[in-house]
Amino acid sequence: MTDVVSIVFKPGGKAYYFDPCGFKYEVGDKVIVEMLTGKEMGTIERGVHSVEDDNIPPPLRKVLRKATEKDLKKVEENRQKEAEALPVCEKMIEKHKLDMKLVNVEYSFDGGRIVFFFTSEGRVDFRELVKDLAAHFHTRIELRQIGVRDEAKILGGIGICGQPYCCKRFLNDFQTVSIKMAKEQGLSLNPTKVSGSCGRLMCCLKYEQEAYEYLDTITPRVGATVRTPEGTARVTDANLITGNLWVKEETPEAIPRKVHRSQVKLVTKKKQTKENSNEE
């Protein structure tokens, strides 16, 4: 077991483990840490706690110190520089006629590196653009291509639910979402109905998937034969959430009736075959 603190570098971003070096830190404290690319400022998401060594990806970097007023001021200055760098890069992109959309700009804490995030449908040869940016800003330049989901996480917005994007608020990692989930949850399979503003399937489809998978195991499916208090019938419709089933006897004059799944028992094919044999 090793004592660590969890630190995030962006709101709603992924938390990383760091060595507190014997010091105590509270949630919300701003700290300076040593990264591979240099010093950065992060926020304590969870104070000192113990973690199994196998769960700590090497190397475990150290927290250098608590952030000072001077550090906080420097970060604010970097935010202003980022706002100024955005239109400069956009003009250079237009000058080089590159098929790319600039999304965000980030200055490193010490100002020794600027990262430009962009989206594009294909690969982009931005070597000349990097040269121009380096000549203008006189520092190390990085251009990083991101996906549309990352773009939504950076820019934020309001989803169809009326709430700010989940990826902007609290999702640390994007979950794998499939159209099969929408089908199992009884949602419309129209892409415009189950897709977020980013154009990909909504992340929230994942939230209740485990519950739907469990309910599916205890709910007879449409077409299944069940034994009800009134006799044997076939399921014509089922609601996983309420547990209500619509069943109908195998007679021409029968009409569907509602019954709860707790009141029925699934008749297996083996049992059905045995009963048919007894009748003969």
Question: Could you tell me whether strands 101-107 and 113-119 are parallel, antiparallel, or unpaired per DSSP bridges?
Answer: antiparallel
Q: How confident is the model at residue 276 (pLDDT cuts 50, 70, 90)?
A: very low
pLDDT in tens, 72-109: 999 999 999 999 999 999 999 999 999 999 999 999 99
Report yes or no: 43 and 29 within 8 Å, Cβ to Cβ: yes
Q: Do domains 73-146 and 219-279 have the same CATH topology?
A: no
Return all residues near 17 (Cβ < 8 A) that are at least 6 apart: 4, 5, 6, 7, 51, 56, 57, 60
What per-residue confidence (pLDDT) applies to 279? 45
| pLDDT reading at 46 higher than 60 | yes
State residue 192's pLDDT score: 86
Whole-prediction pTM: 0.75
- Residues 237-257 have pLDDT tens digits of 999 999 999 999 988 788 899
**β-pair partners for 44:** 7
Among the listed residues 76, 9, 91, 72, the one whose alpha carbon sits nearest the alpha carbon of residue 44: 9
Fold for domain 219-279?
A: SH3 type barrels. (2.30.30)
Q: What local confidence, expressed as pLDDT, does residue 14 receive?
A: 86
Domain locations along the chain: 2-67, 73-146, 151-206, 219-279
Q: Range with the lowest mean pLDDT among 63-77, 130-144, 169-183, 199-213? A: 169-183
- Give the C-alpha distances (Å, rounded to integers) separating 220 from 41, 213, 226: 54, 13, 8
Classified by CATH at the fold level, domain 73-146 comes out as GMP Synthetase; Chain A, domain 3 (3.30.300)
